[in-house]
Amino acid sequence: MNWLTVERKEEIRQYLSVKNFKKIFRLLAPYVWRYKMSYLAMIVMLLIGIGVTLAFAWFMGNVIDAAINGNFERLRFLLIIGLLLVIYQIVSNFVWTYVETTSMNNIKKDLNQDLYAHILTLSSSDLNKDHSGKWMSHFTNDIHSVNAVVGSGLLNLIRFPIMITAALIYLMSISWKLSLISLSVAPLAIVAGAVFGLLLKRNGTIIHETISELTKKLNDTFHGMTVIKSFTLENLFHNQYRKQTEDLYRLELKEAKIQGTFYAGGQAVASLTFLASLLMGAFFVSQGSITAGMLLTFVNLVNLLVSPLTGFAGQWAGYQRSMTALERVVKVFDQTKTAEELPFRKDVIQISQGIDVKNIHFSYQEYSPLFQDLSFKLPAGQVTAFVGPSGAGKSTLFQLIMRFYEVNDGSIELDGKPINEMDVAVLRSAISYVPQDTFLFSGSVEENLKIAAPNATFEKMVQAARDANIHEFIMSLPEGYQTELGERGVRLSGGQRQRIAIARALLKDAPILLLDEATSALDSETEMLVKSALQRLMKGRTTIIIAHRLSTIQHADQILVFKEGQLVQAGTHAELKREGLYKELIQADQFTQRSIQRQDVI
């Protein structure tokens, strides 16, 4: 059989397997358990509901028989029963919808919060492995599958077998011969259902992947809008997006076709079975083996039996499709957390000796080591500058000092204590990081500054802004410190953002300062404002600067020159300027050279 390729066999094996259940139920069990009373209520309602459905079949048959026999006493009794059944159904429909919706939303809310928290504790290397659009799609897409997996989908998977068994027993008690004839379609229904189920699952999995790709594209579009516009990529992006949405449309259409065929087929099977049972039943009635009422009960029961039979495979397929989405969520939870609890701000510690980088080895990818046996010291209270060509590893050293990544071997010590033995929150509370380009959150200027010290007084915050030379600018904004920043608010220039970052660092008042000097040149006035703000910030702190413009670091206590992960020179500007890579770097920067020469003369 050619069509039964290895991949197909694997696909069928996965479709029939319940192995994935374990993983997903292990993830969801605690959430379900949290709302156990709701589940208990739903299972009780489900069982009563099956009883009520069967009772309706019984009710109709009995009404007919009582009417034929002119038994009005019994009809009155049956009327009361009928009314009670209807009232129960109305009430239970309401209660069911309410209980199911609240428990599902509660579970989704809890899972959402835990997923968010888990992602916040993942290591930078794990986070960088996936596109941010993919991370987003776990929230916007995958998590909603919870409904199908532990909501109505799961309850239907419980309901159907019970319903089938109960209806079958009831049918047999009326007429086993008629039951066997009616059931002859069952194997066909099961096989057809299974095939359609597999098709639905396959298509559904691709739909989830396509949605994830679409989210990635949208994310890239919004983050890269400037690049898109400056390279006039609008048309190209639109074409790519159009293709992706058309692919999604085709897949949804295919799903609709499979589902339509499946439901129509199920309907045909159910109708044919109904007709066959009715005709055979009529014959049995004419023979006097069953009453007309029993026939009515019987055909109703056949319906109750066949629809779950044909529907079961569809449910199974939908279930598996949702499981595929949740599997992606499980994979996120399977990634090791870097901390048991979410780090929170700790009191700032003081440092006396400084940072000692001892024989560290580090690589992002196993096959290309970046640092091998690298050692140097960063004395407390001194200014150290990292210089070197692009890709030398300067930013990576910042990442290692802040423990965004862990060293593979060797250690980085703070006051003699390896940082990987320190509470990461304590370590990071001791460091102010001023990046090249500061991220501003949606919110006011005040909120953006106070992320560094939420309890700081307004006066202290204003003082920090003054020291960062940004207060005047903030006051010129329409609502001063209450002006909205971020995507929907005021946009700041590079120099202004940098001074906001400096104000944040001043407010945080940490003993270690990691400063990634902006690469883009600022105009001379702004540069002066930034420089004087930085002077104030660096005072009394153990400072490490990644220097892109060498003119700024001539007064550094030590300069470390890196090349391809190796420390090639170390010393002061005066010691290093006449030789080696440092000299080459100075020569490469004509502007810097001139400015240094001028100062040398002075």
Classify residue 44 by burial, with Cβ atoms within 10 Å: 0-12, 13-18, 19+: exposed
Q: Tell whether residue 62 is a contact of ligand ATP (CB under 6 A).
A: no
Q: Segment contacting ligand ATP (CB under 6 A): 145-153, 175-183, 196-204, 393-401?
A: 393-401
Phi-psi region of 139 (alpha: psi -120 to 50; beta: other; left: phi over 0): alpha
358-387 binders of ligand ATP (CB under 6 A): 364, 370
Q: Which two tokens stand for residue 262?
A: 């499946």
Q: Does 437 bind ligand ATP (CB under 6 A)?
A: no
Point out which span in 109-117, 169-177, 186-194, 389-397 binds ligand ATP (CB under 6 A). Answer: 389-397
Measured from the CB of residue 561, what is the shortest distance to ligand ATP in angstroms? Answer: 11
Nearest distance, CB of residue 370 and ligand ATP, angstroms: 5
Q: How many residues bind ligand ATP (CB under 6 A)?
A: 11
Convert 138-159 into a string of H (helix), E (strand) and C (coil).
Answer: HHHCHHHHHHHHHCHHHHHHHH
Q: Rounded to whole angstroms, how far apart are CA atoms 255 and 273?
A: 26
Three-state DSSP at 484 gives strand
Structural element, H or E, at residue 469: none
Q: How many residues does the chain have?
A: 602
> Could you tell me which of 282, 3, 8, 317 has the C-alpha nearest to residue 153?
317
Cβ closer to ligand ATP: 197 or 388?
A: 388
- Does 560 bind ligand ATP (CB under 6 A)? Our answer is no
- Print the binding letters for residues 109-138 with ligand ATP: x by CB under 6 A, - otherwise: -------------------x----------
Minimum distance, C-beta of residue 213 to ligand ATP, in the bound complex (Å): 22
* Alpha-carbon gap, residue 24 to 378, rounded angstroms: 48
CB 255 within 8 A of CB 204: yes
Cα dist from 360 to 111, 406, 426, 536, 567, whole Å: 39, 10, 22, 32, 12
**Candidate ranges 176-184, 312-320, 392-400, 500-508; the one touching ligand ATP (CB under 6 A):** 392-400
**1 token code pair:** 């059989």
Query: 392, 414, 502, 561: which one contacts ligand ATP (CB under 6 A)?
Result: 392
Strands of the sheet containing 431-434, edge to edge, are 431-434, 512-516, 542-546, 383-387, 558-563, 566-571
> How many angstroms from the chain centroid is the CA of residue 527?
40
Q: Is 552 in the site for ligand ATP (CB under 6 A)?
A: no
**Selected binder of ligand ATP within 286, 390, 457, 590 (CB under 6 A):** 390
266 binds ligand ATP (CB under 6 A): no
Residue 458 has which token pair?
Answer: 């307004």
State yes or no: residue 597 binds ligand ATP (CB under 6 A): no
Q: CB-wise, 396 or 432, nearer to ligand ATP?
A: 396
Give yes or no for residue 569 binding ligand ATP (CB under 6 A): no
Binding piece for ligand ATP, criterion CB under 6 A, among 49-57, 327-335, 394-402, 474-482: 394-402
Contact with ligand ATP (CB under 6 A): which of 202, 394, 508, 573? 394
Rule CB under 6 A: is residue 585 a binding residue for ligand ATP? no
Q: Tokens at residue 410, please?
A: 């060797």
Min dist. Cβ of residue 394 to ligand ATP (A) = 4
Instruction: Please identify which residue in 395, 408, 420, 593 interacts with ligand ATP, judged by CB under 6 A.
Output: 395
Least distance (Å) from ligand ATP to the CB of residue 367?
A: 11
Residue with Cβ nearer ligand ATP (129 or 238)? 129
- Is residue 483 within 8 Å of residue 445, measured between CB atoms? yes
Q: Which residues bind ligand ATP (CB under 6 A)?
A: 128, 364, 370, 388, 390-396
